[in-house]
Amino acid sequence: AQSVTQLGSHVSVSEGALVLLRCNYSSSVPPYLFWYVQYPNQGLQLLLKYTSAATLVKGINGFEAEFKKSETSFHLTKPSAHMSDAAEYFCAVTYHNNDMRFGAGTRLTVKP
Amino acid sequence: GAGVSQSPRYKVTKRGQDVALRCDPISGHVSLYWYRQALGQGPEFLTYFNYEAQQDKSGLPNDRFSAERPEGSISTLTIQRTEQRDSAMYRCASSLGTSGYNEQFFGPGTRLTVL
């Protein structure tokens, strides 16, 4: 069955530091991959998605992710963290159906 | 507003009662999804609709859970004979197209507490 694993339930970085949130997927067929962000008391918002076009995907708020088939990974990065990036981030996968599977989430804390 | 809305935002009920959770998708969105999210976890797929047709209900935990979308717009998720383990955030999402790669727009959720 399709699934994603997010390594690290909590990540803490200093303001201005690199953000790296890890996501690995399990698949025997090409997946569609997504990163969503959830701010407190709000719904999930799409950051970016991979749909088999370019392997490096740029999203909103300066985030990007690279699809690496050999590593079955889709890690999320941002060169310089901002205080407003503090939130929970979810990686998700779907295939040619609509059964989207989410990871358990990574809570990002940004220290001043 | 133009986003996905859900009602009620909070629901507290006693064990054994039935509850109905409502989702109003973005106008024109043909696909509608229901998820359940436990504290500290990612959303868990329950079921989805294309227009009024329920396409996949494999994620519904048991036969106490059902969903409908009779006119292809508003959807209702019903939980019969609620149990304490049903307590969670229930989220609805909608998408413009029927393909799995379409962006899903999420509502704020309904927090269900079963006493």
pLDDT tens per residue across span B27-73: 999 999 999 999 888 999 999 999 999 998 989 999 999 999 999 99
**Pairwise CA distance, residues B39 & B41, whole Å:** 6
Give B-chain residues touching A51 at CB under 8 angstroms: 101
Q: Which two tokens stand for residue B110?
A: 């309904």
Looking at chain B, which residue has its C-alpha nearest residue A35? B103
- Give the nearest chain B residue to A96 (CA atoms): B100
Interface contact flag, B42 A90, Cβ < 8 Å: yes
Place B1 in a pLDDT band, splitting at 50, 70 and 90. Answer: low
Contact B56, A97 (CB under 8 A): yes
Q: What is the pLDDT of residues A33-47, one digit of tens each?
A: 999 999 987 889 999
Contact yes or no for A102 and B107 at CB 8 A = no
Token pair for residue A87?
Answer: 């939130």
Which pLDDT band, with edges at 50, 70 and 90, does A96 fall under? low
Q: Cβ contacts (< 8 Å) between B110 and chain A: which residues?
A: none
Q: Which residue among B43, B55, B108 sits closest to A102, beta carbon to beta carbon?
A: B43
List the structure tokens of A13. Answer: 């970085």
Using the beta-carbon criterion (under 8 Å), do A32 and B58 form an inter-chain contact?
no
Contact B56 A98 (CB under 8 A): yes
Q: Using a CB-CB distance cutoff of 8 angstroms, which residues of chain A are in contact with residue B93?
A: 44
In this structure, are residues B113 and B88 in contact, taking their beta carbons and an 8 Å threshold? no
Indicate the pLDDT class of residue A27, thresholds 50, 70 and 90.
Answer: confident
Give the closest residue to A63 by CA, choosing from A101, A18, A32: A18
